[in-house]
Structure 1
Amino acid sequence: MSATPGILVGRRVCMFVLNDCTRDSRVLREAASLAAAGAEVTIIARRGEGLPDQEMRGPVRVVRVATRASLGQAAGEGDAVARRSGAGFLARQRPRLERWRALGIRELPAYLGVRTWRLAFVRTWQLVFYVVSHLSYWLGMTFQVLTWTFKAGRHVPAADVYHGHDLTGVGPAWWFARRHRARLVYDSHELYPESGRAAVAPRFTRRVLTAIDRWFMRRADAVVTVNRSIADEMARRYRIEQPVAVMNCPERWRSDDPEPPTFDHFRQTARLPIAPGTPIVIYQGGFRPHRGIEQIVAALLEPELRDAVGVFLGYGPQRDWISAQAARPDLAGRLFVVDAVPPDVLLEWTASADVTISPIQHSTLNHWLSSPNKVFESLAAGVPIVASDFPEMARIIGDTGAGVVCDPADPGAIARATAGILGADPADRAALRRRCRAAALDRYNWETEAGHLLATYAVLVGTPEAGA
């Protein structure tokens, strides 16, 4: 599916995304595609340190608006104080209990009943604040979105379509769409109530988030999401029309040369001490829980990968843990961490590896249904993939023959799948890399995916392509 350039000439689009809009590739790609089709596009983002309040990203205007997180901060600080108070009280009682045990006292004196009551009180206090700690996060987030919306008011232009990214962006998009009698697009990058902090929130909180998500989806003129599996789940769960799947693939890269490119950035640019000819397996993306980072490290210790090295390319809270693993004697010289690189050179670094590993864990339904960006980036770079045997990843790899799926929780399975690719005949490995490139150039690219988005807009704003 494709759309003719210029089909949105004279149309105005305003997007909302609650981040600083510097690394959100999906938002920037969508905005650029809408602008290339003739639309005047504004992105309302969150102010970031050291970033201009307004700037032009090509033809797209980005406006960054400050948020006020004081309520969320106060709730978090209150929770911390309560936890410290409860923990302090219990710590003060522990020596007394130990003395009583040492004296062999089995039946505590009557006055201990007061102490016991106090202990029960503190336990209850801690339980209450455990629940509050979750609720305070969402209360703070709600406060941020509301203040962001109101402060953005003077920067938001009249538009034909207001496009909200995720649950945090659709609220203001809905508000301004209603105010200007415009169309509303809800672009859900994930199954929000089943992702991140929401997935581990108390049941009541998840039910509230699900109800809010449903409310906005039923009021949107179009719902867009990241893949077919999540679209199916949204349609079933919320009883809405099938959302439009727009996968977050990179643009066609080096389309004038379909052969797999050759780069060696890890040795030549990062100066890693990797001997020539040593196979490199790469994990790229966020260093966060449930991404399979621990399983990759364990897989490198399996005998099948004894001759390979692993490189983690990216950033995130688990960086220190990965660095500590790299310092272990049994992984010395076999595990490296490299800082994230700019998006415009990322595929060159990906192409410097022999295999990409993406063993995201089945910790949430959102992960189970995911289609990680790194899968599409590996296709574009011509690098075979070892990925989780989950619906979307299995479908993509099955369709393209671009790698192997395995049980992501089993380091041995990851090692065997990776070794199977590394140990293949050179001619077979070359053919595998060509299949990756062909899949990216022919099907899994942003030019193809943008067509779905533009066709949806054509229907919304009544251009000549409406209904095509």
Structure 2
Amino acid sequence: MKKITVITTVHHAYDGRIYHKQCKSLRNAGYEVTLLAPKPETMMIDDKIELIPIEKPKKEWKRFIHALSVFKLAKKTKADAYHFHDPELIPVGVLLKLFTRKPVIFDVHEHYPNAIMSKKYLKKWLKNPVRIAYEVMERIALPILTGVIYTTDEIGERYKKYPSSKIENYPLPEMFSQTKADKKNEDYILYLGGITPIRGIEELVEAFKHVTLLKPSLKLVFVGSFESSTFEQKIKERIRDIGLEGNVQFLGKVPYEKIESYLSEASIGIIPYLPVPNHLVCLPNKLFEYMAAGVVVIASDFPHYRKVVEESNSGLLVNPEKPQSIARAIIELHDNPNLVKEMGQSGYKAFNDKFNWKHEEKKLLAFYKKILNN
């Protein structure tokens, strides 16, 4: 039995993409899987996937320094292949390749040079030097590493000359088998994911102010955590100032395996991301989670989003920088329950036919087979 060691120093140990999809798919295919990840509050009982908990750095800039200490832990697992998920682990991946001579896969979650330019914790004058340093590091490392997994063609453009595979982070079909259309609450609007300024939260709150003037029964529910206490205070103060406390609810972050319970009740799901460079080349997984649960989508009108939403007839597109555009879409859908039902069913069909992990799993296993055989 081949042994795979999967590594992340940033993502939750039971992350949807890493643990529930990739690790479980590899385990079910007959691989022995070990996961090195930040120590969770509660350990799952799953003897078939060994979790080696590590401490997560509290400061962003300490990630690179901390990552090097992970090298020894990973090397001790004596795996047949290593699979790492964070850009700060590139030096670790290179060391593992050089010292073990085993295959090492870099799993690219987003367009990292673009993402660096949007980092709030980096000073403006520092962003370009950090981006250039990252690109140099990546250029040196990629010929040494064995392969790359990425999402979207735009992100993959950086890796096309290396052994690589495009594997999207589509939802698990079994997670949404209990979702029922008759459970939907037409007044329940959901925002799922991290709560940050570049995800259009301020614009969404302003839009909802306009919505509640005409639709006072509507509720906007946030499932996810704030990026900082400062931003949390700012948003909650604004909600109090405009009198939306009774219409907006923050539930915090929930375990991946429990998000279906919130999606099953919502009728509309919102993705109001702002047009920062990284958002223009990435596809958020929550778009497909909304579709999987039969939730109608209101999404930013970006080319990637437009292609999916229009092809699947699963929702409406808006200008995320204009609260009135978001408000109009919410009101239009709420005024047309038959349209909501039709789009919800259409989105679910597209998810069931195409946008689900069952299809991506085959690509993952084929890529592993190719990498290990070579």
Of residues 182-191 and 200-209 in structure 1, the stretch that sits farther from structure 2 once superposed is: 200-209
1:435 matched to 2:357: no
Question: Where does residue 202 of structure 2 map in the other structure?
Answer: 294
1:444 shift after superposition: 1.1
Give the aligned partner of residue 69 of structure 2.
Answer: 147
Q: Pick from 187, 191, 202: which aligns with 1:283? A: 191
1:240-251 equivalences in 2 (<5 Å): 240-241=161-162, 243-251=164-172
Distance (whole Å) between structure 1 residues aligned to residue 55 and residue 253 of structure 2: 26
CA–CA distance in structure 1, aligned partners of residues 3 and 15 of structure 2:
21
Deviation at 1:387, TM superposition (A): 0.8
Specify the alignment match of 1:314 in structure 2: 224
Q: How many Å separate the matches in 2 of 1:397 and 1:290?
A: 21
Provide closer, same or farther for how the CA distance between residues 166 and 441 of structure 1 changes in structure 2, counting only shifts above 3 A.
same
Asked if 2 retains the 8 angstrom alpha-carbon contact of 1:166 and 1:192, the reply is: no
- State the Cα distance separating 1:241 from its structure 2 match: 4.1
Counterpart in the other structure of 1:415: 327
Match of 1:22 in 2: 13
> Any idea what the Cα deviations from partners look like across 1:37-73, whole Å, max 9, x if unmatched?
111111122346x566xx764521111234788xx7x
What are the Cα deviations for residues 348-403 of structure 1, in whole angstroms up to 9, with x where unaligned? Answer: 2022122111011122x212212112111101110011111122212211221111
What CA deviation, in whole Å up to 9, does each residue of 1:221-254 have, x standing for no partner? 221112233223x24xxx6348422121221046
Q: For this pair of structures, how many residues does the alignment match?
A: 363
* TM-score, with structure 1 as normaliser: 0.71
Q: Does 1:174 align with 2:94?
A: yes
Contact 1:229 1:392 in 2 (8 A): no
Which AA in structure 2 matches 1:405? L
Contact 1:389/1:407 (8 A) holds in 2:
yes
| 8 Å Cα contact 1:161/1:177 also seen in 2 | no
Tell me how large the CA RMSD over aligned residues is.
2.7
The answer to whether the 8 Å contact 1:186/1:223 transfers is yes
Q: 1:108 is matched with which residue?
A: none
- The Cα offsets for residues 170-228 of structure 1, whole Å up to 9 and x where unpaired, read as 33233223322211211011112221537953322211111112222333322111223
Q: Secondary structure at the match of 1:247?
A: coil
2:364 corresponds to which of 442, 446, 453: 453
Aligned-pair distance for 1:440?
Answer: 1.6
Structure 1 match to 2:140: 215
Q: Is residue 87 of structure 2 the alignment partner of residue 183 of structure 1?
A: no
Q: Quick one: structure 1 residues 416 and 180, their matched pair in 2 at CA, closer, same or farther if it must change by over 3 Å?
A: same
**Counterparts in 2 of 1:294 and 1:161: CA distance versus 1, 3 Å:** same
Question: Secondary structure, in 3 states, of the residue corresponding to 1:315?
Answer: coil
- Superposed, 1:64-75 pairs within 5 Å as 64-66=53-55
Task: Tell me: CA distance 1:254–1:329, structure 2 relative to 1, closer, same or farther (3 Å).
Answer: closer
1:360 aligns to 2:288 (yes or no) = no
TM-score by length of 2: 0.87
Question: Residues 12, 242 of structure 1: CA spacing in aligned structure 2 closer, same or farther, 3 A cutoff?
Answer: closer
1:15/1:173 contact within 8 Å kept: no
Q: Is 1:300–1:309's contact at 8 Å kept on the other side of the alignment?
A: no
Larger Rg: 1
Match of 2:51 in 1: 62
Query: Following the alignment from structure 2 to structure 1, what is the Cα–Cα distance between the partners of residues 154 and 102?
Result: 29
Cα separation, 1, equivalents of 2:214 and 2:324: 12
Q: Secondary structure at the match of 2:197?
A: coil
Q: Alignment partner of 1:190: what SS?
A: coil
The residue type equivalent to 1:410 in the other structure is K
Residue in structure 2 matching 1:260, options 160, 164, 181: 181
**Are residue 206 (structure 1) and residue 131 (structure 2) matched?**
yes
2:199 partner SS: coil
Per-residue deviation, residues 265-287 of structure 1 (Å, max 9, x unmatched): xxxxxxxxxxxx6x222211111
Tell me the alpha carbon deviations over residues 321-355 of structure 1, each in whole angstroms, 9 at most, x when there is no partner. Answer: 33323323532422222233332221220221221
Contact persistence 1:225–1:246 (CA under 8 A): yes
1:193, 1:199 within 8 Å by CA — same for their partners in 2?
Answer: no
Q: Which residue of the partner structure matches residue 31 of structure 2?
A: 39
Q: Could you tell me how far apart the structure 2 residues matched to 1:59 and 1:192 are?
A: 32
What is the alpha-carbon distance in structure 1 between the residues aligned to residue 240 and residue 47 of structure 2? Answer: 43
Distance 2:170 2:249 in 1: 27
Distance 1:397 1:370 in 2: 14
Query: What is the percent sequence identity of the aligned residues?
Result: 23
CA 1:173/1:254 → structure 2, altered by over 3 Å: closer, same or farther? closer
1:259/1:431 CA distance change after superposition, 3 Å: farther
> Is this contact kept in 1: 2:179–2:260, CA < 8 A?
no
Checking the alignment, whether the CA contact within 8 Å between 2:111 and 2:155 is kept in structure 1 is: yes
Stretches of structure 1 lacking an aligned partner (at least 5 in a row) = 1-9, 73-136, 265-276
